[in-house]
Amino acid sequence: MRPRPPCPKCHATSMLARIMPLTKDTVAESFECPECDYSWTVSAPDPIRKASGWIEALKPPN
């Protein structure tokens, strides 16, 4: 599981609210703070597409 960043305002452990595709291999992750209701979004590499890229790379060439 991906580490959850602390809230920038009150430093409580945030909750990952949603993940939206941003570009081909980037996602926007929205975090919400359960303590002060602050929410923010960060962009991150898409872990699923990265993983499938790995699987493709491990296939033997035909």
Binding-site member from 35, 41, 47, 52 for Zn ion (CB under 5 A): 35
- Rounded-to-integer distance, Cα 4 and Cα 16, Å: 7
If one asks whether residue 17 binds Zn ion (CB under 5 A), the answer comes out as no
- Min separation Cβ 36 and Zn ion, Å: 3
Binding-site member from 9, 15, 20, 50 for Zn ion (CB under 5 A): 9
Which runs of consecutive H residues, i.e. helices, occur in 1-62?
47-58
- Rounded-to-integer distance, Cα 62 and Cα 59, Å: 9
Give me 22's structure tokens.
Answer: 């941003």
The residues of the shown chain that bind Zn ion, judged by CB under 5 A, are: 7, 9-10, 12, 33, 35-36, 38
